[in-house]
C-alpha cells in the first residue's frame, strides 16, 4: 500500500500538543509523509521538534490563516521547503489561541462573534483549499481533508449557532469542491468528530463523551487515523463524504446514562 509515503502534507491548526491537528501530523509523518504544520503562535515550533525527521521531512510556520495573503504565502513557503503539496488537512477552526469564544443564543450573537467563527472555520478552509487546488489539478493528484464536526452537519447544541453553522458550511464546501475536481484526481472529504478528549475539552464535554455507546470520549489519534486514510492513495474512490468519528453517539436515541438501557 502506497498510503501517504513520500507525499507532502500541510496540516493547519496543529499547535496544541494533544489536539487533533498535531495527532494528524504525527501519524502522517509516521506513515512516511513530509509534513508542514502551522498555528497562530510560536508553540508550533515546539510541535516541530516533537516530530521525527530532519529539515527535508518537516517544517513549521506561524500564520494567522484569516489573513489571506499571509496564508497563501505560507502555503508557497511550505512547498518551497518540502515539495509540491499533495495533501491538505484543514484542521484550523475550533478556536484560536488568545481569542475568547462566546457561547450565545442565536438572538444574542453579535456581528463580531458571528464573523469570527465563519472566518476561522469556513474562510480559512476556503483560502487554503483555493491556494492548493491549481497545483493539485496540474499534477492531477490531491487529497483534501476538512475537519468539520457532528455539530452542525448532524446534530445541534444550544448556544453553538455560529460554530454549528460554520461546520455545516464546511461540509457543503467539501461536497462542492469534490464535484468540481473529481476528474482532476483530487478527492475532497470531511471528518465529523464527536466528543474527543483534548486539552481544550471542558468537564461537561468529557461527561458527554462518557455517555456515548463506546462509554468514553474519543482520542485525537482515533480521528487522526481516519484522516490518514482519507489522505492516502488508497482512498482514491472516496470523495465528497463526511466520516463521523463519535463512538456511535449520533446514532443512539437515548442520551442518558447508558447502563439504564443495556
Tens digits of residue pLDDT in 19-40: 999 999 999 999 999 999 999 9
Asked if the structure places residue 253 within a domain, the reply is: no
Mean pLDDT across 163-179:
98
pTM of the predicted protein model: 0.95
Asked if the structure places residue 213 within a domain, the reply is: no
Backbone angles phi, psi at 250, to 5 degrees: -75, -10
| CATH number of the structural domain spanning residue 130 | 3.40.50.720
Q: How many CB atoms lie within 10 A of CB 186?
A: 24
* Location of C-alpha cell 469542491: 177
pLDDT for position 52:
96
Asked if the structure places residue 63 within a domain, the reply is: yes
pLDDT at residue 122 is higher than 90: yes
Range of the domain at 49: 8-199+219-248
Tens digits of residue pLDDT in 172-185: 999 999 999 999 99
Asked if the structure places residue 204 within a domain, the reply is: no
pLDDT for position 254:
80
pLDDT for position 27:
98
Provide the mean pLDDT of the chain: 94
Q: Give the chain's radius of gyration (CA, Å).
A: 18
Res. 139 pLDDT band, cuts 50 70 90: very high
Mean pLDDT across 105-131:
96
Asked if the structure places residue 86 within a domain, the reply is: yes
Query: Total structural domains in the chain?
Result: 1
E strands within 40-134?
58-62, 85-90
Residue 163 annotated among the catalytic residues of the structure: yes
Residue among 235, 205, 209 at smallest CA distance from 222: 209
Q: CA 46 to CA 67: how far, in whole Å? A: 23
Asked if the structure places residue 22 within a domain, the reply is: yes
Residue 176: partners with Cβ closer than 8 Å, 6 or more residues away: none
DSSP classification of residue 155? B
pLDDT for position 256:
67
Res. 199 pLDDT band, cuts 50 70 90: confident
Asked if the structure places residue 136 within a domain, the reply is: yes
Of residues 163, 181, 254, 262, which has the active-site annotation? 163
Asked if the structure places residue 260 within a domain, the reply is: no
Amino acid at each position: 500500500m502506497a498510503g501517504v509515503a513520500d507525499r507532502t502534507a500541510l496540516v493547519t491548526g496543529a499547535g496544541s500538543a494533544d489536539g487533533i491537528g498535531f495527532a494528524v501530523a504525527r501519524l502522517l509523518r509516521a506513515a512516511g509523509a513530509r509534513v508542514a504544520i502551522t498555528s497562530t503562535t510560536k508553540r508550533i515550533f515546539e510541535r516541530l521538534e516533537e516530530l521525527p525527521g530532519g529539515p527535508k521531512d518537516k517544517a513549521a510556520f506561524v500564520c494567522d490563516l484569516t489573513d489571506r495573503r499571509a496564508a497563501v504565502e505560507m502555503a508557497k513557503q511550505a512547498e518551497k521547503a518540502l515539495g509540491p503539496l499533495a495533501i491538505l488537512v484543514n484542521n484550523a477552526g475550533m478556536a484560536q489561541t488568545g481569542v475568547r469564544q462566546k457561547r450565545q443564543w442565536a438572538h444574542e450573537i453579535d456581528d463580531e462573534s458571528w464573523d469570527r467563527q465563519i472566518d476561522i472555520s469556513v474562510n480559512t478552509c476556503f483560502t487554503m483549499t483555493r491556494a492548493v487546488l491549481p497545483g493539485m489539478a496540474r499534477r492531477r493528484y490531491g487529497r483534501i481533508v476538512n475537519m468539520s464536526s457532528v455539530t452542525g452537519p448532524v446534530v445541534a447544541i444550544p448556544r453553538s449557532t455560529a460554530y454549528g453553522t460554520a461546520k455545516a458550511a464546511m461540509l457543503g464546501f467539501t461536497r462542492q469542491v469534490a464535484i468540481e475536481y473529481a476528474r482532476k484526481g483530487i478527492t475532497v472529504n470531511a471528518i465529523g468528530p464527536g466528543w474527543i478528549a483534548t486539552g481544550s475539552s471542558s468537564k461537561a464535554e468529557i461527561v458527554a463523551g462518557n455517555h456515548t455507546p463506546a462509554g468514553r470520549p474519543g482520542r485525537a489519534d482515533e480521528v487522526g487515523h481516519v484522516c490518514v486514510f482519507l489522505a492516502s492513495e488508497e482512498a482514491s474512490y472516496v470523495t465528497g463524504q463526511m466520516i463521523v468519528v463519535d463512538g456511535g453517539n449520533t446514532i443512539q436515541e437515548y442520551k442518558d446514562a447508558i447502563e439504564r438501557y443495556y
